[in-house]
Amino acid sequence: MAGFFSRVFEQYRAQVLALGLHITGNHDDAEDAAQETFAAIHRGLPRFRGEARISTWVYRIAVHAALRVKGRRRPTLPVDPETPDARGADAMMARVEAGQVVAALQRLPGELRVVLSLFAIEGLSHRRIADVLGVAEGTVWARLHGARKRLAAELTGPK
């Protein structure tokens, strides 16, 4: 079982951290959520029956852990996005725009931010997101539509 856990950890560590960062908006909280995620996976592996894909199970645990951690914390400044390829004035503009997107994402309600992160950042299909969140696929479509509209409004509305 320890070898299997090690493989799961190595395969999903970066994705769990990235998802936690997008949900919580804070590096420390993302680390806390990742620790909670892998502790829950380690405890739950003996009971994992393979009824869902291992990735779906991992994402489900990671989403819930990140939401729990975010719920325990006070609001913080948004994540400072990195733009390593940009140079000079373009770099400054890219950082400002990326910062605005990150800040707008953080202002979205949790359920919209989660579904948008799973779809746009993690690249999961609507069906997989539905499995991860335990909701109907139509609910995922509706939340994605709402998330896109709210994000657009956040980015174009008054500051």
Position 107, amino acid:
R
pLDDT at position 29, please? 92
The answer to whether 106 touches 78, Cβ cutoff 8 Å, is: yes
Higher pLDDT residue, 83 or 124?
124
Q: What is the mean pLDDT of residues 34-51?
A: 88
Indicate the pLDDT class of residue 15, thresholds 50, 70 and 90: very high
The answer to whether 15 touches 47, Cβ cutoff 8 Å, is: no
pLDDT at position 97, please? 62
User: Is a pLDDT exceeding 60 seen at residue 92?
Assistant: no
Distance, CA of 70 to CA of 73 (rounded, Å): 5
User: Is a pLDDT exceeding 50 seen at residue 10?
Assistant: yes
Q: Over the stretch 133-154, which tens digit does the pLDDT of each residue have?
A: 889 999 999 999 998 899 888 8
Task: Give the C-alpha distances (Å, rounded to integers) separating 97 from 18, 85, 153, 159.
Answer: 20, 15, 15, 14
pLDDT at position 90, please? 57
Q: How many CA atoms lie within 13 A of 67 on its CB side?
A: 15
The answer to whether 24 touches 66, Cβ cutoff 8 Å, is: yes
Instruction: Please report the domains of the chain, with CATH numbers, ordered by start residue.
Output: 1-76 (1.10.1740.10), 84-159 (1.10.10.10)
Q: What are the start-end ranges of the H helices in the chain?
A: 2-24, 27-44, 54-72, 88-107, 110-116, 126-133, 137-156
Q: Over the stretch 55-89, which tens digit does the pLDDT of each residue have?
A: 889 999 999 999 888 878 755 444 444 544 444 55
pLDDT at position 158, please? 65
